[in-house]
Structures are given as C-alpha cells and as structure tokens.
Amino acid sequence: IDSADRYDRGQIIAIANQKGGVGKTTTTINLGTALAAVGRKVLLVDLDPQGNASTGLGITGDKRDMNTFDLLMGEASLNDVRTPTGIPNLDIAPATTDLSSIDVELYRDSNRTRRLRDALRGSGDRQVLESYDYILIDCPPSLNLLTVNAMVAAHSVLVPLQCEFFALEGLSQLLVTIREIRQSQNPELRVQGVVLTMYDRRNNLSSQVEADVRENLRDMIYDTVIPRNVRLSEAPSHAIPALIYDHTCAGSIAYQKLAAELLTREHDALRAGA
C-alpha cells in the first residue's frame, strides 16, 4: 500500500446543489456503487427528507428505525444508523421525513451547524468512520441547515450540474456558500469537482453550456460527463442502482468513469497536501 492509500480513509464528500432534479441522488447512488465495485468501502448518508437515496437502494420503512434524523439529534450513533444495502462494500444511513423538522428541532442549539460533523468525525465514532474509504452525503435541494451540516462535516463538495441555461448563476451562488463555510467553520473544505449531468449530445444547448462552464471553471469540471440516459431514471423504481440494473448502459459506464476520475483526483489532492 502506498502512503496516499492509508490517508484517504474516511473521506467525506457532500453531493450538493440547491436546485432539485439535477442528479444529486442519482450521482450519490451510482458513484457510490461504482466506488464500491472497485473495492472501496462506501457509506452513503441520506440527508434529504425525501429519502430518495434510501428508497432507490431498497431500504424500506421498517429498516429506517435508526436514521439520519436520530443521528443529527444525537439520539443514535453512526454505528446505530448504518445499514447494509445488500451490495458488497456499500452501506447507507437512511433518511425519513422526520428530517424536514430539523430546523425547528435544533432552533435553540448553538451547535446546530456542526451536528453531522460531530456525529461523523467526533471521537466516539472515529473508528466507524475510518472503516469506510468514502462517505457520500446526498444533500437536499436547498442551502438549508441540512446542506450546511453536510458542508461543515465534509472534506470536499461534489456538484452535479445540469446543462441548462442558468447553470452558471446557480453554481456561483453555491460556490459563495462553500467559500463562506470554508472561512467560518471548515477551513479544509475544497471543491472535489463539478460534474455535468443529463448531457444531451444532440442538443446544442448542452454543448454550449458545457463550453461555457469549462471556460469559466476549467479544472473544476470533471472530464467525465453524465449523459441523459433512460436506464438511470428507470433503476430507482427497481430499488437498485443503475450499475446493477444495467451495467452496460451509457449512464452506468459514465458513473464508472467518474469514479475513476474521482479516485485520481483524491490521490493527487492527498499527494499535494502531503
């Protein structure tokens, strides 16, 4: 094992974009599955009250007794809430609609933005965290307390960006939030990368948006682009990742490429920091 491999245990990546329907959950599930398939131990943290990542992995209601709401409330530990998905190397901390009341529940708590960080990185569950290589947090579609908790807890943020006309405006707002959190609560937070999703080669707008964001953000954008692919949208109704539903479809292949690119970036980032 080379030194970089030892240091990248327990890397926490928040998958965030304040817009809904841009591919956060699809990316969390399929990037997580692709990393698990190449032998990385992966924990998905469902931080969206809609619980789409949990449902998409077949975690039924009876298997959500211990969930991320309990984790944030300090009523359960990481060890309590992690749940096997049935896919080797892939666990999930599931979500329920309880999460939607977290703002109210934590209103008086001066530590409310650090709840997830303490639960994941506090001394208590350090060993559990470090039994995983990657922890991917599926964020809700807003810059609310839940997303802030994810960014305060994370080492980096991965942004799925849909190729549409106002993509860059939304992204710059997100980058401002990331910078604010870096300055106030989490100095080590970096942008893992921005991945273009639902890319349609036959659509001029997709390629215009791509050219535009690549010119503006250069290395921040992954080389890998996720195409619009119906298999990716069908898989959740079968409660399995697209990578298992149809591992040869264009969407599955793209997520495997994204996983490889992420591993290369992580390796380089650790080298640079060493």
**Residue numbers at the binding site for ligand ADP (CB under 6 A):** 20-26, 52, 141, 197-198, 226, 228-229, 232-233, 236, 251
**Residue 23's binding partner, choosing from Mg ion, ligand ADP, none, with beta-carbon cut-off 5 to 8 A by kind?**
ligand ADP
Would you say 30 or 52 has its CB closer to Mg ion? 52
What six digits make up the tokens of 273?
Answer: 């920091």
Cβ proximity to Mg ion: between 25 and 55 the closer is 25
What residues line the site for Mg ion (CB under 5 A)? 24-25, 52
Residue 25 or 89 having the CB closest to ligand ADP = 25
| Residue 20 interacting entry, from Mg ion, ligand ADP, none, C-beta within 5 to 8 Å by type | ligand ADP
| Nearest residue (CB) to ligand ADP, 58 versus 106 | 58
Cα 231 to the center of its chain, rounded Å: 20
Nearest-angstrom CA–CA distance, 20 and 18: 7
Spatial separation of the C-alpha atoms in residues 168 and 159, rounded to whole Å? 12
Query: Residue 9 or 231: which CB sits closer to ligand ADP?
Result: 231
Query: Smallest distance from the beta carbon of 146 to Mg ion, in angstroms?
Result: 12
Instruction: Find the distance separating the first CA and the last CA of the chain, reported in whole Å.
Output: 16
Residue 122: how many other CB atoms lie within 10 Å: 13
Could you tell me the two tokens for 220? 């921040």
At closest approach, how far in Å is the CB of 14 from ligand ADP? 13
Q: Where are the beta strands (DSSP E) in the chain?
A: 11-15, 42-46, 83-84, 90-93, 134-138, 156-162, 190-199, 221-227
Residue partners of 140: CB distance under 8 A and separation at least 6: 47, 48, 49, 50, 99, 146, 147
Nearer to ligand ADP, 108 or 201 (CB): 201
**Sign (positive/negative) of CA torsion 221, 36, 57, 16?**
negative
Distance of alpha carbon 242 from alpha carbon 226, whole angstroms: 13
List the single partner that 84 binds among ligand ADP, Mg ion, none, CB under 5 to 8 Å by kind: none
Query: Which pair of tokens denotes residue 196?
Result: 């273009």
Tally the C-alpha atoms within 13 A of residue 199's C-alpha that lie toward its C-beta: 19
